[in-house]
Chain A
């Protein structure tokens, strides 16, 4: 049982334990769907839906799950919510569902979600698990938003489909190609680590 305040429990997901920048988890969707802001947001919301509901369910049934089959049980819970998210998206937002392709069903193997169940929900109360999942989701959406904004603005000159760059601007095609995803995320990780090292030095 952790003794942190609920606010701290929420805030740790934003920076100290940010799933993407600090824990390097769930990189596949982060790289794959961030070529446009709208795709990044859709992926962020879908993953958050799954993470929050799975955390609540796992935290509430944790006493019923035998330790030997816990991973398999978590996967079944997660897969159920992923199926719901996938079907809802296909029914109500067909263009986005098409753009995200196999990456929505792939949320099921996203290491952030399974990782939080194993590391947090299975040993904390329902309320704490909910707050933790909310924090991690916010951190994940934030990372997707930053990466997809950089890539869409530089790669297409637009933000959420609206033109933001003047007519002088020549889009950097590389940014919407897979290569742009790797390079941008690499640089962002470097920046995040540099900030962290500087603040740690400041505290010491």
Chain B
């Protein structure tokens, strides 16, 4: 029950983009078409799940036992950068079609605050291993939901008559605001 709550909270109530404001750059940058938004969402979910596992292991097996937790920031960022590189090489070898779909989005993810935020939030909240994994998957799906919804709105927005200065990022942020408002409706789901 506890786990289910955590999962739902990560997707809807404390949505990664609309509540924590993490991953805004890809959210605004890669949300112009639905198919690329879906690929980006999948890539982020994939990397987030792996990051949750690896950062948990580093934090609990290396940093905490050796009292090195002041190295958290440095070690997380380096591990994430190496990890994304590794995942990219691995996918290219194992599954070329998947690489075709995710390829160009993977390097973009390295400096994405969503991934680093996940590692930091898991460490900050002292999740156990299972919770960390569930939180990682849920956050990734939450990001995917937000970016796909955003892309479907923006495809319609192309036909709308938007004031000149608001075109592009301005109207995208306002749409995101209205979406965030709608998502606050979910806050009653978790007590």
Contact = CB atoms under 8 A, between A and B. Distances in A.
Interface bracket on B: 35 or more
Contacts of A8: none
Interface in B113-128: 113, 116-117, 120-121, 124
B78 A27 contact: no
A179 B113 contact: no
Nearest to B112: A109
Interface stretch (A37-45, A75-83, A128-136): A75-83
A106 B174 CA distance: 24
A109 B178 contact: no
Interface stretch (B32-40, B44-52, B58-66, B159-167): B159-167
Contact of A109 (B116, B163, B171, B177): B116
Interface string A174-199: 10011111110111011101100100
A105 B72 contact: yes
A186 B164 CA distance: 13
A153 interface: no
Contacts of A114: 111
Nearest to A24: B169
Contact of A83 (B70, B163, B170, B184): B70
Contacts of B18: 178
Contact of A178 (B21, B25, B71): B21
B13 to A, nearest CB: 12
B43 interface: no
A187 B177 CA distance: 11
B130 interface: no
B74 A76 contact: yes
Contact of B177 (A79, A102, A108, A180): A180
Q: Which of B18, B77, B112 has the most chain A CB atoms inside 10 A of its CB? A: B77
Interface of B: 18-25, 28, 70-74, 77-78, 81, 111-113, 116-117, 120-121, 124, 163-166, 169-174, 176-178, 180-181, 184
